[in-house]
Structure 1
Amino acid sequence: MTLHALDDLTAPSITIPDADDDVVLAFAGPGVVAAHTVPGHGRPDTVRVWSVSGTRIGPDIRGTTEVTTATERAWPAVYVGRADGTISLTDLETGHDLCHPMILPTRPIALVVTGDGDLIAGFGSDLARVRPPSTSHGPR
């Protein structure tokens, strides 16, 4: 995995050699969220976080279906979209889901969190905007 600073094209790139063929999904908190393919599985079904220094943050988060997209809500909470149409809110430091997954009609292909905390999910040719309930506990 090689990271390039697009705001300074003269800056040297950063290579994370241990990331092998991991695919970058998002930048979150102190690191890079990536999809990892477990040997023999053929599709990336595991989420990993890499610091820019090349060290791993948190555990491998393995699912039963392919990871398609991710976006940060508030570190360490990240929305993870999968090919089975689910979006989970996962704590990347512990690997635990923070609530039950949301189910879309088809696989999410893009996720973004707005400035006011809403989740926008792109799937097929449609978009869904979800306003998570405000709580006094957990990420906002």
Structure 2
Amino acid sequence: MAPTRDRVARVPALIVHGGAGADPVDGREELRAGIREATLAGWRVLAQDGSALDAVEAAVRVLEDHPRFNAGHGSVLTSAGTIEMDASIMEGNRLGCGAVAAVSRVANPITLARRVMDDGHHVLLVADGAHAFA
């Protein structure tokens, strides 16, 4: 008799982190609320039978739109006082990836990175090339 494997139900997991660096004493609850909001945005996509990729993009967009996270709207300024943002996204089943770097006039770099991946002609677009693609 052939051995049987125990079947374990797969349960989706969505893990959102708000970055690395110093743990701020002030505003911790605001940051936690932002992470919860991002996680819930991803779960809403999954609950409506959306893809894992759609859920990740939705979660990251929330972080990019939040003023307290070093992403999108809340990005730390360069030494020249400007914003330059990077984002990348990957999809393992089809080995797809897309990224943008040094973008400054894009509200949600993760969505532009997703468009780069979905377009399939490039993997990484930088600065003016990324802005032209946008």
Common fold: TM-score over 0.5:
no
**Which structure would you say has the larger Rg?**
2
> TM-score, structure 1 length as denominator?
0.28
* Structure with greater strand percent: 1
* Structure with greater helix percent: 2
